[in-house]
Chain A
Amino acid sequence: MGNFEPVIVAFCCHYCAYTAADMAGSMRLSYPSNVKIVRVPCTGKVDTKHILQAFHKGADGVYVAGCLEGDCHFKNGNIKAARRVARVKKLLSEIGIEEERVEMITMSAGMGERFAQTATDITEKIRNLGPNPVKNIRDGQKQPA
C-alpha cells in the first residue's frame, strides 16, 4: 500500500485539453506519469459506459478534460460531459466507490501549466484515496489457478 501508484485515465478533447497536454510537453512541464490520455474529438463524446468501464477494469481515477465553458469547439459538448460526469459520480457512490474518483475539468488549449497542475493534483488526490475498491473485491475473488 505504501507504494500505491494509481492508474488514472484522462479523456481529453482534441481541441483543448489534448492540445494543452502537448503544450505542457513543449514547455517541458513535468507531471505524474500515472495519467494516461484517451483522445476524443470532444468531451461530449465521452460515454458514461466508458468511464464506468475504466473503473470496472481497475482504473483508480478518471477525469474528463474539455474546453473552458463557452469555448467548446462544438458549442456545448463540455457542458453535456459535465452532466454525465455528475451522473457517474452518483452511480459510483451508490455502489460504494468514492465519487471523488471522477472529475470534470476544463482548460483552454494554451493552458499547458494548468494541464500539468491538474494531473499533479488529481494524482495526489487519488493516491490519498487509495486503490479502486473494485480491485479488493476482485483480489478477494481471485482463486489460485
Chain B
Amino acid sequence: MENQNTKQTNNKVLIIGGGVGGIRAALDLAEAGRDVVLIDRSASIGGLMTQLDRTFPTNNCDLCTLSPHLSETGREHHIELLTMTELAELQGEAGSFTVTLTSHPRYIDLEKCTACGDCYEKFKDCVQFKPGLDHRAPTCMRYPRAIPQAFSIDISKCKDIDGLVSVCKSDAIIPDDTEKKRTVEVGAIVLATGAELFDPAVLDNYGGGAYPNVVTGLEYERIMSASGPTLGSLVRPSDGKQPQKVAWIQCVGSRGINKADVPYCSSVCCMYALKEAIVTKERFQDSIEATIFYMDMRTSGKDYERYRNRAEKEYNVKLIRSRPHTISEKPGTHDLSISYALEEGSRNVTETYDMVVLSTGFRPTEEMTVLSEKLGIELNQHRFAKTAGFSPVETSRPGIYACGVFESPKDIPETMAQASAAASKAAGNLDILNEMPASQEEMLPERDVTDQAPKIGVFICDCGFNIGGVIDVGEIAAYAEVLPNVVVAEVAGHGCSRESMLNIQSKIEECGLNRIVIGGCSPRTHEAKFQDMIRRAGLNRYLVEMANLRDQDTWVHKHNPDLATKKAKELIRMAVSSVALRHPLTDHLLPVNKDILVVGGGVSGMNSALSLANQGFKVYLVEQALNLGGLARKVNRTLSGDDVQGYIQELIAKTTAHERIEVLTGATVVDHKGMPGMFTTGIQIAPRMYYRQIKHGATIIATGALENRPQEYLLGQHNAVMTQLDLDSMLEKQPEKVKAWDHIVMIQCVGSRTPENPNCSRICCQTAIKNALRIKDANPGARIFVLNRDIRTVGFQEDYYREAREKGVIFVRYEFDAKPVVTGEGDQVLVSFRDPVLEKQLEITADCLVLSTGLVANDEATEDLAMIFHLNRTDDGFFLENHIKLRPVDLHVPGFMVAGTAHSPKDIRESIVQAQAAAGRVLTFLAKDTINLGAGVAKVDGKKCAACLICVRACPYGIPFINAEGYSEIDPAQCHGCGVCAAECPAKAIQLMQYEDDMISAELNGLLERIL
C-alpha cells in the first residue's frame, strides 16, 4: 500500500527528542525488533516529565512511574542513545535517509563516569547542569535517576583543569573532548522534540519573574517535588514560610490576542492546575486555601471531569470563573493582591494571596523552526508540525513522523498514544522482518541450586520517600538479617533503578545467594523486572519473592509509622519463610500465532487493520453491523472542514480490497479462550448465525460508542429539536431548510456532566462550533446562540471558537442548576435561559434547537465483550486501559489493545491516532516467535493420585484427564494456572507451581509463628 514502494534494506529509525514521547516510540520500535537511534539535545533524557512532582489522576510520583521506562531505554539493545546531540543535515528520502548528527562535547567519558559526584563536590561551578526550568535544582543531573547516569562539564568555566581531571577517581574526565559528527542511515524519522513553556516574565501585568512569590506551574511542581530545591517543602520563595492562600491563574499567555499571547489553548494547564491544587490540599488540608481562576475549565479527557468534581467537592478547591487582569505586590510583605471581575453581574473583587501560580502553556521552540527547515517539513500557523486531518502523525515529508507536543499541545496519555502511532508508522518504512533478531544478551547459565540450603538475600527499597519517608528501611533490613536462612540484608534505595539492580546482582554472585526477597512495591508491577534481574545474576527467575511494603503498607499507613514498621517486618517474615521453599521452575514456551483479530469496523478498527495488514500481518476484521464505517458514516465534515464521507469510502475500499484483511460483517463475538499469543474466538455470522472460530495472537477492541439521545428538551417530541448529528445530516441533505432558519439555539452538555453521566463527552463543543460555522457559511445572517457550561475547544480548535465569535455566534453561559427551559410553540420552540452577565432571564423563539449530546458507551456491547474477553470497564462502560498515563492503548489482558471511542469519547483524528498506536503496540506484542506461558501450572504427582476425577470436574477449562497409566494428567500448555484442582484434590496430589501448598503454609507460619 502507501509505503510499499519505499521499503529498503534499512532498518533503523531516528528519533529526535528523548522525552516521554521519544522514549515510548523508541521502546515500541525496539520491542518490535527495529533499531533506533535516539538523540536528545540535553545531557540526559526524560524531558519535561522528569520535572513534574506528581501526575493526575492517581497523584502518583512521576519519577517513580517514569524511571522504569528510562532504565529500559538505557538497557534495550536496539536503542542507541546519543545525548547532547542534534541533527545537522538530512539527505535522501523515506526508506533511505542519510542524517548527519552533531554531538557536543560532554568532557566526561560515559563508560567510566560512575556519577559519584566528586567532581561536583569540588568544582561546583564548572560541572554543568542543565537547569531546565529550575535554577535551584539540587544536583547537577537534571533529576536523581538521570539516564545516562553521568555528569557533564562546562569546560569554559573551569580554571583548574588539571585539578578537575585529578579529582575523578575513575579517570572519566576528558578535558580535550571535542564535537563529533557522524552520519547514520535510517529508514524513517520520528520527531518528538516537545516544546517549551511560556516564560511569563515578558508580561508586565502578572509580575512573573519580578515578584518572588509569583511562580509558574512548573516552578510550583519543583517546589512541591521531593527532588526539588526545597526537598519537597512547600514554602514561599520570598521568606521560606508556608503559604496559607495560593491562587492559580489559568491561560497565562494562552488563548489571548495581546502581544505576548498565543491564540491557541495549551490543553494541559487546567488539569495540571487542578492536580497541583489537589496535591496541595491533600498535603495541607485546611491549612492552605487553594483557588483557581479560569476562563473555561477544560477537563475533557477520560474521567477528567470526575477529577475536577473531586477537586471542588472533596478537596474544597475554589474555582472562580474570571481572568484577573493584574497582580500587584504589597510592599514589604511580598503578599500578592489580585483584582478580578466576577462573571455574575461583572462585580469587581480584590483579594490577597501569599503565592500565585501562573498556569503557563506550551510554546514552539526556536529549535523546532530550525529543525523543520533542516528536515524540509512544513509547520502550521502556530509553528507546530503541520499534518493532514486524517493523517495525524505524518508530516509534509514522507518518512518523517511527528508526535507529542511537537504536533500540538497535549498531555501525557495523548503523547504516549501518538508516540506509539508514530513508531508504528515509522516501522512501515522499514523492511518487513520475517525473523526478529534474537536478543543478543549473553545470559549466564543458570546456577543449579536444587540441593543447596537456602541462602537468602533481602533487599529493602526506600523508593524515595514512598517507603523511606514512612518507615526506617535500615531497621527493617537489620530485622531481616537475623531471620532464618538470611545471609545478607541491605537497603536498596530505588531497587528498580539500574544501579541498584547491578548492585543486587553483584551481591548475589559475591555471596552465592540462592533465594532473594525484595521489600518494595507491588509484585503486580515489578516482579517481572526483579525476575529478569536475578536471571541475569545466574539464578532461576522463580527464586525471588516480593514483599509489598509500599502499595500495601507505607502508602496506606503513612500516618502511623509504628504500625507500618510492624507490618513491614511481618511482611518480610512472610516472604522470607516462603521464599526458602521456592525451587527452580521452567517456563513453558509456545509458538505465537501472528494473526490479529480486530473487533469493530469503524474508523479505528479499519485503521488498525490496515496498519497491520500493510506490515504483512493477516487481520480478521469483525463488525457487528452489516456495513463497515461505524458512527462516522453519519458525520460529513470535521471541524477543520475535511470530508469525512470521502475518507470513509476510501478507507472501506482499501480495507475490503486488502489481500491480508478478511472482513466479517454481521458478526458477533460469542466466546473466547486461549492465552496471549494463541487465542481462539468464536463468532456467529448473520443472517444464518453460523458459528466460526478464529485463531489469533492479539486482539484490538475498536467497538466504538453510541450517540447519546437523552429524553430531554423535547428531543424526539418536537420537529425543531435535534441532535448535532441530525443537524450535520440536514446541512448536507437539506441545505435549503437550514438556510431558512433565522434563530438557532444550541445547548451543550445535554446528557453529559450530569450526576448520572458525570464525564464530559469531549467532542460536543467542537461539533457545535463546526455546525454553527457551517450554518453561518450558508446563511451569514442567522442568529446562533450556544448555551454552554464551558467551551472546551482544546489545542488549535480554539481558532474555530474565535472565528465563531468573530462571525457573530453568541455564547451564553448556563449553570447546571439553572438549565434552559424549552417549550414548543407551533413549528418553533421557545428557549428560556438566564444570561449571567446581563443578570437577566432571556427568551428566544428558535427555528431550530440543537442538542449537543455527545457519545456514550454501548453499555450492553461492552459489558458482553468485557465478560467474554475478561476486560475491565470504567463506571460509564468504556474499556479501562492498563495504565491511564503510560499505557493508554494497552488493556489489562496481555495481547489486547483498545482504540477509538471504545476507550472514551474522541474525535476522528484522535481515533486514528489511537488505532495506529494500537497497531503499533500489537507489533511489539507479536515480535517474538514464542510466547512464554510462565511456569505457574498445575502438576500431578502420579503416585498420590487416586484417579477420583475431582480435578477433571473442577477444572474450569476441562484440561485434566486420566491417562493411560491411570492417573490424572494436566497439559502445561493448556493449564491456565488458577489452582482450583490443587485446592480440591483430596489426596493433595496436585500442586500449583509458584503457589505450592508448603509455600503458602510457610507464608502463614511466617506471619503467625509468634502468636501462640
Contact = CB atoms under 8 A, between A and B. Distances in A.
Nearest to B1007: A36
B978 A38 contact: no
A11 to B, nearest CB: 9
Nearest to A108: B872
Interface stretch (B36-44, B88-96, B252-260, B544-552): B544-552
B86 to A, nearest CB: 38
B348 interface: no
Interface stretch (B190-198, B561-569, B736-744, B920-928): B561-569
Contact of A25 (B556, B979, B984): B556
A7 interface: yes
A110 B872 contact: yes
Interface in B511-551: 522-525, 548, 550-551
B558 A28 contact: yes
Given A9-B1007, A27-B58, A36-B1007, A74 B1001 contact: no
B980 A57 contact: no
A73 B936 CA distance: 15
B574 A24 contact: no
B525 to A, nearest CB: 8
With a 10 A CB-CB cut-off, give which of B548, B892, B954, B983 has the most chain A CB atoms.
B983
With a 10 A CB-CB cut-off, give which of A19, A42, A110 has the most chain B CB atoms.
A42
A44 B1011 contact: no
Contacts of B640: none
Nearest to B1008: A57
Interface string B970-983: 00000011111011
A8 to B, nearest CB: 10
A65 B174 CA distance: 59
A66 to B, nearest CB: 11
A93 to B, nearest CB: 21
Nearest to A62: B1004
* Interface size bracket, B side: 35 or more
B880 interface: yes
Given A26-B551, A58-B1011, A135-B1011, A75 B956 contact: yes
B552 A47 contact: no
B550 A25 contact: yes
Given A30-B559, A108-B872, A41 B552 contact: no
B1004 A50 contact: yes
A1 to B, nearest CB: 16
A53 B1012 CA distance: 13
Contacts, number: 143
B557 interface: yes
Contacts of B685: none
Interface in B652-691: none
Contacts of B982: 45, 47
Given A57-B1005, A108-B872, A7 B980 contact: no
A37 B551 CA distance: 12
B935 to A, nearest CB: 12
Nearest to A44: B980
A33 B978 CA distance: 28
Contacts of A28: 59, 282, 555-556, 558
Contacts of B954: 80
Contacts of B564: 33
Nearest to A42: B978
Nearest to A12: B552
B995 to A, nearest CB: 6
B980 A74 contact: yes
A44 B551 contact: no
Contacts of A37: 548, 552
Contact of A41 (B571, B977, B1008): B977
A41 B995 contact: yes
A14 interface: yes
Given A22-B524, A80-B980, A58 B995 contact: no
B790 interface: no
Interface string A85-125: 00000000000000000000000111000001000000000
Contacts of B560: 33
Given A14-B524, A54-B1004, A21 B978 contact: no
B28 interface: no
A48 B557 CA distance: 31
Contact of A45 (B567, B867, B995, B1003): B995
B633 interface: no
With a 10 A CB-CB cut-off, give which of B563, B892, B1008 has the most chain A CB atoms.
B1008
A84 B1003 CA distance: 21
B551 A25 contact: yes
Contacts of A59: 1004, 1007-1008, 1011
A47 B1001 CA distance: 10
A109 B881 CA distance: 12
Nearest to A30: B556
A135 B979 contact: no
Contacts of B957: 75
Interface in B758-793: none
Contacts of B557: 30, 33
A138 B936 contact: no
Contacts of A76: 956
Contacts of B552: 21-22, 25, 37
Contact of B980 (A22, A31, A45): A45
Nearest to A24: B556
Contacts of A46: 983
Contacts of A108: 872
A107 B564 CA distance: 25
B898 interface: no
A12 to B, nearest CB: 10
Interface in B976-1009: 976-980, 982-984, 992, 994-995, 997, 1000-1001, 1003-1005, 1007-1009
A38 B956 contact: no
A53 B950 CA distance: 23
B1004 A9 contact: yes
B977 to A, nearest CB: 6
B957 to A, nearest CB: 8
B992 A41 contact: yes
Given A25-B556, A28-B555, A41-B995, A135 B1012 contact: yes
A6 to B, nearest CB: 11
A37 B563 CA distance: 15
A42 B1004 contact: no
A36 B1011 CA distance: 14
A61 interface: no
A84 B1007 CA distance: 23
B574 A36 contact: yes
B1000 A38 contact: yes
A47 B288 CA distance: 51
B980 A39 contact: no
Contacts of B109: none
B588 interface: no
B870 interface: yes
A54 B1008 contact: yes
B58 A57 contact: no
Contacts of B571: 36
A44 B524 contact: no
Given A25-B551, A25-B555, A47-B983, A77 B1001 contact: no
Given A57-B1009, A110-B880, 8 more contacts: A18-B524, A21-B551, A22-B522, A33-B553, A38-B1004, A40-B979, A49-B997, A71-B867
21 contacts: A19-B524, A22-B551, A25-B522, A28-B555, A33-B557, A37-B548, A40-B979, A40-B995, A41-B992, A41-B994, A41-B995, A45-B980, A46-B983, A48-B983, A54-B1004, A57-B1009, A73-B978, A77-B979, A80-B954, A109-B872, A134-B1012
Interface of B: 58-60, 282, 522-525, 548, 550-553, 555-560, 563-564, 566-567, 570-571, 574, 867, 870, 872, 880, 892, 936, 954, 956-957, 976-980, 982-984, 992, 994-995, 997, 1000-1001, 1003-1005, 1007-1009, 1011-1012
**Sorted from nearest, which 3 A-B pairs have the closest CB atoms?**
A45-B979, A25-B551, A74-B978
